[in-house]
Amino acid sequence: MQRKKYSTAITTLYQEIFGKRTEYSGPAIMGFYNDQIKESKPKRKIHRMSEIKEREFELFFQNKSNVTMSSYKVDSKTNLPILYLQDQKEALWTKFEETYPNGMKKTSFMARLAN
């Protein structure tokens, strides 16, 4: 789907500039079919959170000053009680950062909180 958009954009631009249709498809011009270009693109690295940082996150949210545990509602996937945050996300981040200054970064904290 995405390649089709690129192809259409390239063909249209080529036609406007040179007054004729291109001999090549958009993906060929972009290098989608060229193995050398594919191999030279940097591979995306996904970093896993260290177990220590994960444990710090879990400990932080086991503290009753940060969350309230539901006594009757249970998450259907994990079968664990649902936790309600005691404060706004930003305030929780500030507390977490003070408690664990060498802990996870803010973006990781917020992403993990969303899960």
How many C-beta atoms lie closer than 10 Å to residue 8's C-beta?
11
Q: How would residue 32 be classed by pLDDT, with cut points 50, 70 and 90? A: low
If asked whether residues 31 and 58 sit together in one domain, one would say no
Per the domain annotation, does 46 fall within a domain? no
Find the domain containing 100 and state its range.
51-114
Q: 16 and 58 in one domain? A: no
| pLDDT confidence tier of residue 63, bands split at 50, 70 and 90 | confident
Q: Are residues 55 and 109 in the same domain?
A: yes
Q: Is the pLDDT of residue 37 over 80?
A: no
CB 44 within 8 A of CB 21: no
| pTM > 0.85 | no
Nearest Cα to 96, choosing from 36, 56, 54? 56
36 and 56 co-located in one domain: no
Tell whether 103 and 72 lie within a shared domain: yes
Q: For residue 80, what are its two tokens?
A: 């664990």
Give the model confidence (pLDDT) of 72-109 as tens digits.
888 888 888 888 888 898 998 999 999 988 888 888 88
Q: Please give the Cα distance from 27 to 33 (Å, whole number).
A: 7
Same domain for 22 and 71?
Answer: no
42: left (phi over 0), alpha (psi -120 to 50) or beta: beta
- The per-residue pLDDT for range 42-53, each reduced to its tens digit, is 777 777 778 888
